[in-house]
Amino acid sequence: MNIRKEKTPSQSKIEMTQLVLPNDTNLLNNLLGGRMLHWIDIAGALAASKHSNSKVATVAIERVEFREPINVGDMVILFATLTYAGNTSMDIKVDVYSENLETGIRIKTNKAYLTFVALDHQEKPKTVPLLIPETPSEISEYKLSEDKRIERKRKKAR
Ligand SMILES: CC(C)(COP(=O)(O)OP(=O)(O)OC[C@H]1O[C@@H](n2cnc3c(N)ncnc32)[C@H](O)[C@@H]1OP(=O)(O)O)[C@@H](O)C(=O)NCCC(=O)NCCS
């Protein structure tokens, strides 16, 4: 019998830093939404790959809101953390902050939830380690992800 490995969210947590260059901006000289989605996807994929020690594919990105513009020259910091591991899929939360390098002021600009599937060498879904949440916020995110999965399966079954 195969015993599934266990990992905690902190074992795969990712911090990714980017600098907003002119080529990353829209006509308003702010960070382009598509570039932000790209960075969110990469940060999420890194956390999922680290948890599963494999290549991963994005299967879903939940609604992402853009509440604050991010200016050219700002630093963008993305924190990606696993919130749930299913059989072959993993839910990741990405928190995004922007920091003005002249003032040092850092603000939270985005939050996104994504789902990735771990792939084996034949690019078929493969089993991932179980996720063991430790802190109160990890436990609460785990329950939230679990509830969302139950709801998604309920809707699919209709
Ligand atoms: C990832 C992929 C290989 C999965 O193959 P599949 O045959 O759909 O596999 P399954 O139906 O067994 O689903 C695998 C897991 O993904 C989950 N999943 C599938 N669709 C999902 C969705 N829309 N939202 C969240 N999870 C989803 C399933 O619940 C399952 O999770 P579990 O094993 O933890 O229970 C396939 O969907 C694929 O290649 N998708 C394209 C990926 C891609 O190109 N991404 C980049 C987009 S630009």
Structural domain boundaries of the chain?
6-157
Tokens representing 102 are 């002249």
Atom of ligand 1 nearest to the CA of 87: 34
Measure the CA–CA gap between 40 and 38, rounded to whole angstroms: 5
- The enclosing H or E element of 137 equals helix 136-157
Task: Name the residue with tokens 């382009």.
Answer: 32
69 C-alpha to ligand 1 centroid (Å):
32
Q: How far apart are the CA of 59 and the centre of ligand 1, in A?
A: 5
Q: Please say if the pLDDT value at position 157 is more than 90.
A: no
Q: Burial, 17: exposed, middle or buried (Cβ in 10 Å; 0-12, 13-18, 19+)?
A: exposed
Please count the other Cβ atoms lying within 10 Å of the Cβ belonging to residue 100: 14
Kindly list the distances between the CA atom of residue 136 and the CA atoms of 22, 92, 109, 133, 148, in Å, as whole numbers in the listed order: 40, 17, 23, 8, 18
Residue nearest to atom 15 of ligand 1 (CA): 89
Which fold, 6-157? Thiol Ester Dehydrase; Chain A (3.10.129)
Q: What would the pLDDT profile of 11-41 be if each residue is shown by its tens digit?
A: 999 999 999 999 999 999 999 999 999 999 9
Banded model confidence at residue 2, pLDDT cuts 50, 70, 90: confident
Q: Which residues form the pocket of ligand 1, taking CB atoms under 6 Å from any ligand atom? A: 57-60, 86-89, 115, 117, 125
Ligand 1 atom nearest the C-alpha of 58 is: 45
Could you tell me the two tokens for 66?
């853009």
Q: How far is the CA of 8 from the centre of ligand 1 (A)?
A: 23
Residue at token pair 């994504």: 114
- Among residues of the chain, what percentage have pLDDT more than 90? 94
